[in-house]
């Protein structure tokens, strides 16, 4: 797991780096918003961000909203201010969690583990013996990878994204046009879905007569 710490207190950086290394987390640290922006120009594969609110060259809230939030990376705000308004603001703009200084490293690690586990569960949907990793775009059946074409993957991804909802045939037709630039007719959609069902070998795709298709997930 790769974690980015944006914090200007060197003692905190050193202490967390030692603890994170012991827990098999790769911790990358930046001490300013400028350094963090430069980092994002070359590397955005980060599993989680710990962001100090008060940095030498700017406000952590603004940096989160302008730079981090569009990347959809789970973020924990870190601050010396035990202010209820700051806590509410941080959570309202999309932070996963908020912790105030001084803090327990064990508590921070526990919160990180909880967030990463929750994120992993969201990104992998399992229905019967089919598992779809929505981030990696990998579909497995009983643990074995399934060979789907790019278009088949996108169609199945569309159904999984809209789990428990009907995806109309018109929506699918529009999406195929968007993805391929080719016009297809209603019969072609039927053929695509038939092939996907054959490869899945499991009846998770329901046909809603006269409307479209749906994948149901037990809640």
Q: What are the mean pLDDT values of the chain's consecutive 10-residue runs (219 residues total)?
A: 91 92 89 92 82 92 89 86 74 87 89 80 81 87 92 93 88 91 90 96 94 83
CATH topology of domain 2-123: Rossmann fold (3.40.50)
Cβ neighbours for 193, distance < 8 A, ≥ 6 positions apart: 155, 205, 207, 213
Cα-only R_g, the chain: 22
Residue extents of the structural domains in the chain = 2-123, 128-215
3-class secondary structure, 125: strand
Whether 77 contacts 53, CB under 8 Å? yes
Cβ neighbours for 132, distance < 8 A, ≥ 6 positions apart: 124, 125, 126, 138, 139, 156, 157, 160
Q: How far is residue 30 CA from its own chain's centroid?
A: 22
Whether CATH 1.10.10.10 fits 128-215? yes
What is the model's pLDDT at position 219? 44
Model pTM score: 0.56
Separation CA 197–CA 159 (nearest Å)? 12
| Residue 207 host element (H or E) | strand 205-208
For the chain, counts of helices (H) and of strands (E): 8, 14
Return contacts of 191-194, CB within 8 angstroms, 24+ apart: 192/151, 192/152, 192/155, 193/155
Tokens found for residue 52: 């100090």
3-class secondary structure, 150: helix
Tokens found for residue 190: 């039927």
Separation CA 71–CA 44 (nearest Å)? 8
Whether 54 contacts 79, CB under 8 Å? yes
Q: How far is residue 117 CA from its own chain's centroid?
A: 11
Indicate if the alpha-carbon torsion angle 212, 187, 161, 147 is positive or negative. Answer: positive
Whether 97 contacts 77, CB under 8 Å? yes
């Amino acid at each position: 797991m790769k974690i980015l710490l944006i914090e200007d207190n060197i003692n905190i950086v050193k202490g967390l780096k030692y603890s994170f290394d012991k827990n098999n987390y790769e911790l990358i640290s930046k001490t300013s918003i400028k350094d963090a922006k430069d980092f994002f120009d070359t590397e955005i594969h980060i599993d989680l961000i710990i962001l100090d609110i008060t940095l030498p060259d700017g406000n952590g809230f603004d940096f989160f909203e302008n730079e981090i939030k569009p990347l959809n990376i789970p973020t924990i705000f870190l601050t010396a201010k035990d202010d209820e308004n700051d806590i509410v603001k941080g959570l309202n703009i999309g932070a996963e969690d908020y912790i105030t200084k001084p803090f327990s490293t064990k508590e921070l690690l526990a919160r990180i583990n909880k967030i990463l586990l929750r994120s992993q569960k969201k990104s992998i949907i399992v229905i019967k013996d089919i598992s779809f990793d929505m981030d990696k775009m990998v579909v497995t059946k009983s643990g074995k990878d399934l060979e789907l074409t790019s278009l088949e993957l996108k169609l199945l991804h569309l159904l999984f994204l809209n789990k428990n909802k009907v995806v109309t045939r018109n929506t699918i037709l529009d999406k195929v046009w968007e993805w391929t630039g080719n016009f297809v007719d209603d019969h072609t959609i039927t053929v695509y879905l038939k092939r996907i069902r054959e490869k899945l070998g499991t009846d998770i795709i329901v046909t809603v007569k006269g409307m479209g298709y749906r994948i149901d997930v037990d809640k």
